[in-house]
Structure 1
């Protein structure tokens, strides 16, 4: 299938579909080309289900199933590592991972005369990584010439990852056509007109390549008796496509668009009527709310451009077949419900911030005070034991203080699911709401969360995004979406509000509870997750990184504190809410992780190695230069420096829950 052009060797390529294994003119399957290289890292576990084709440059005859035989009339089809040779060019195939592998198939195929490379891929979005696939495509065609047709999936497909499109066509090291990166469209057509003679000229100029190609092994060729380019050269030639510049989204834009597209695809596939979010007035829940608002903006924009599929989906969601979304805030009011869940420990500041944000994004918002529910649960405990726990600030023990925080957090989850299931019933609408989580990746890796609290939800759009990136996103959303309340939210200290207020003001902050700043936690997390560092190797790296602001003893104390928290809270990783995959920093490997989910928090060998190394490097390190605000001091550091765990951080909420 190709549009006829009145010029020899010019072709329009439909990049989104791999059409060349099937000859539509003769209704024959020309070739079944199996995958040669499987991906088994990150979110992929392909070897669980498939076996790669190992017979390089070999083809077997495959008897086609009866249902195919009735359509094509053929008994067999070539199956294996081959290329298709038309009368005017040669077409080769890579499948997804083969482009990323060091031994990519396009190298050998290009040396054997293949001019067109087709890749049907399922590559997911990661923050700051859009350039990777583009670079691979341009380099694939630049190294030995050729046209590379890259077709990528779009949508969530019910998974944690978002396949972000970006289908494109590369020619001799340039991109000549591309699809959108984030869009609600199910199908997108990418078209380019090229001149095959440009490929041949480009290759002839690479003399070293020509010498290697002269001794290159040959691929089996499946002959196709047709031309991709027309023979009629009368009339004017269609202009060929020129190189384009790829404009990449900033990380803040990717957070605004990627999770929003993912949420929309998940929502329409689930058949539910919208989302429910416990809105606390802090950075995390505000980020989740802004992403849903961005989703509504994308839906309204798609409908205004005439996308009938999106219009049909949104009508099904709101149960109104005459509805046409015209305003993002109005759409939010129909499908996005937010609730501020207060106890006696909640402040007016966070309540007001939550209400103002809800008004600005357009959600259906309400406030509840469920302190009576908390008191009822505590009454049951007292009726059984005869004792009542009290907060640490009022003389209670760390165990009492932690239990009081955890019960509030867990009851928020119970209340969230109650309202999510019944709010549409209250409005006489069918279906229910999906509960959104709002725990960021830093808190998940450290375990700064209560097991089965309000971070437990149906899906979590920010579960793979760091606190620092979320703050950057909120600055972007404040200007892009005209949400001025976000300035106040970003400037407020993060707090769980699970301990008593002092003069109606917050007395508890996340960073004080954790015994580390979010900036430090981000560094710990990336070293642990992305660089696979244990306590000793992390200490060695951070003594160098923080040499101007921390002594070796301080670095050792910080690393030990993180790893104690990491060890005793790893069990929480097994129950994390399915979250949007944003980068390799994400904790979504809990699905495949076969390591113990309860570590020895003493780390005896590793901590001893750190202590020994401190003695060795202490004299070599420069004297620490204290910079104002560079390294906050926490009381927990001195408590923990002896290497014995003494309760330490209580987390948000319940960071020490075992």
Structure 2
């Protein structure tokens, strides 16, 4: 039997954080060697971090990466390791992977297919490599000396490491129809490594699983998929999820959303099984790119047969229902955002409504999940700058230091929301303050009335009186954030962002908007799930019943107006449908009308038409608000973030002609 122990690593990297990135890579290599791994695949651009943005243009970025690459070489004795970094070649920048065998760089493979859709922007910085093209690259004398060679193969390469053929599909390469694995298969590849930076989105794991299994089956190979982990650069959350497959069979998969800096997943490949599959396929070589084969005399260590296990990996432990995926993704995103920004916890203006309560619940999950994954002491150690956590012995004590909440009533607030906020804060262990902002509200109203020499009334000044109540809440929560050295979280959701149902410099205040990528309808159902079920059937919060029993309301008009969000806007399920049709699917108002008439036959056409008109007008009018929102997490293909996903002009025709045609 021709057995080789292989591994993929998930790494929690940070752009341009050279020390952290190097230590994580070094830990992965050392862990793999300790586990007697022979071939280790690391994630895409792991030396620099994937999200360096325009810092990729800076020569220093490449120089630092090359220095670290040279430092790694002595650590790779006795093992084959792939390491990702950006390289300049003939005045172009390429996304590359170095294959190192036994301390020697065998060559650099350049990525052929660049991710340029959605939140990806690779074509801005990198040039795609032409299939079948091969060149060589050299660096300064100082770098060449450190890398132990004057020139290296560069481009479309296949590596023959003493009879074991290793090729690459770099992330997006595996997502396209004409994937490089096809040409590698024609050249008799044994193992394909896929170093990736694939961000989390709902249901995306199933897509990855398909191309890993199908690639391993169709090409008759061992396939190793490695991915980044955590909140790398602010908006994207990476869920890890290393997969190792052989000829269509999944041998290993890691549990996703780990709070660890580095995690190595191993499996043993029987190369003879892969080769037999290729022998039996009998496929023509016509039309295949000429890939240069780079030979190495390093004898890859083999694994003794007793360690080989043909049992297929359990898929379920890495596959979660949407409610759990949401909780795990945002909890991990919050943890990394906090620690990488050196914030001493979070401050939330806790209104007792669904949005702010969802954020408090997610912070509760962050602490519980992180403590379970790392152990409480290691959880605190990763926040070692936050010395107030040192004496904490329970997760509730940690929450009391990490999370500060403030209920901020005006004369239009009620006992229902106060109790909901108070009981939720007590349930998770957060600090809770009742900060009466009514005097500030009245002060602003009196000042303006004196200046304009008339009284403000709800009949004439509705929006003015609502907005000032939201805005007077911002200074006090900013003060709490400054006092604590903490991060103020904005509580806006995606449904509000779509129609601008938010007060700028009021409820949009904050340095991070963690739920701005998720719709209100889903948040309400998720809170009901968290009340009774909770992630892994634990960490549920019965006190959420006080939140879930309410109708969402801004509580900004007088109590006798019985204000509700859906009364101000439209039913949230309808809002979500219109947003999906109009923004994600780019349907016209008339097309939206026809669709909603079919899906809501019980509702009058006039009502549907009024809701569609309101949506398109508010969408167009409030792009400037979306431009000013704090950064949010990417969770699915309905993201409205204008900086990374959904661009729209600030000034437009507001769909006037299209609405008239409806």
Q: TM-score, normalised by structure 2?
A: 0.83
Evaluate the alpha carbon distance shift between residue 500 and residue 437 of structure 1 in structure 2; reply closer, same or farther with a 3 A threshold.
same
Larger Rg: 1
Equivalent in the alignment of 1:172: 247
RMSD of aligned Cα (Å): 2.0
Deviation at 1:468, TM superposition (A): 2.5
**1:88 has 2:163 as partner:** yes
Where 2:224 maps in the other structure, the secondary structure is strand
2:545 is matched with which residue: 466, 487, 496?
487
Task: State the Cα deviation string for residues 489-524 of structure 1 (Å, max 9, x = none).
Answer: 11210000001113xxx711000011x100101111
Equivalent in the alignment of 2:13: none
Structure 1 residue ranges, 4+ long, deviating more than 6 angstroms after superposition: none
**1:283 has 2:354 as partner:** yes
**1:508 has 2:563 as partner:** yes
Evaluate the alpha carbon distance shift between residue 525 and residue 380 of structure 1 in structure 2; reply closer, same or farther with a 3 A threshold.
same
Task: State the Cα deviation string for residues 367-401 of structure 1 (Å, max 9, x = none).
Answer: 0111111111122212221122112xxxx22xx01
Q: How many residues align?
A: 571
Where 1:492 maps in the other structure, the secondary structure is coil
- Partner Cα separation in structure 2 for residue 165 and residue 413 of structure 1: 36
Equivalent in the alignment of 2:603: 550
- Partner Cα separation in structure 1 for residue 299 and residue 333 of structure 2: 40
Equivalent in the alignment of 1:607: 659
Q: How does 1:62-461 map to 2 (within 5 A)?
A: 62-206=137-281, 210-213=282-285, 216-230=288-302, 237-247=306-316, 248-304=319-375, 308=378, 310-319=379-388, 322-323=390-391, 325-391=392-458, 396-397=459-460, 400-422=461-483, 424=484, 432-461=485-514
Where 2:118 maps in the other structure, the secondary structure is coil
Structure 2 residue ranges without an equivalent (≥5)? 10-40, 43-80, 83-97
Structure 1 residue ranges without an equivalent (≥5)? 1-7, 425-431, 611-658
Task: State the Cα deviation string for residues 306-349 of structure 1 (Å, max 9, x = none).
Answer: 7x4x33223322346x54x5422111001100000000000011
The structure richer in strand per residue is 2
- Partner Cα separation in structure 2 for residue 461 and residue 215 of structure 1: 48
Equivalent in the alignment of 2:118: 42
2:530 is matched with which residue: 477, 484, 487?
477
- Partner Cα separation in structure 1 for residue 501 and residue 376 of structure 2: 44
Deviation at 1:213, TM superposition (A): 4.0
Equivalent in the alignment of 1:11: 4
Equivalent in the alignment of 1:629: none
Equivalent in the alignment of 1:643: none
- Partner Cα separation in structure 2 for residue 86 and residue 143 of structure 1: 23
- Partner Cα separation in structure 2 for residue 305 and residue 11 of structure 1: 37
- Partner Cα separation in structure 2 for residue 185 and residue 563 of structure 1: 44
Q: How does 1:513-592 map to 2 (within 5 A)?
A: 513-514=568-569, 516-546=570-600, 548-591=601-644
- Partner Cα separation in structure 1 for residue 100 and residue 649 of structure 2: 53
Equivalent in the alignment of 2:17: none
Q: TM-score, normalised by structure 1?
A: 0.83
Evaluate the alpha carbon distance shift between residue 237 and residue 388 of structure 1 in structure 2; reply closer, same or farther with a 3 A threshold.
same
* Structure 2 contact 227–240 (Cα < 8 Å) conserved: yes
Greater shift, 265-274 or 534-543, is seen at 534-543
- Partner Cα separation in structure 1 for residue 374 and residue 133 of structure 2: 49
- Partner Cα separation in structure 2 for residue 471 and residue 212 of structure 1: 56
Equivalent in the alignment of 2:61: none
Where 2:320 maps in the other structure, the secondary structure is coil
* Structure 2 contact 642–648 (Cα < 8 Å) conserved: no
Deviation at 1:594, TM superposition (A): 5.2
- Partner Cα separation in structure 1 for residue 549 and residue 174 of structure 2: 44
- Partner Cα separation in structure 2 for residue 585 and residue 607 of structure 1: 23
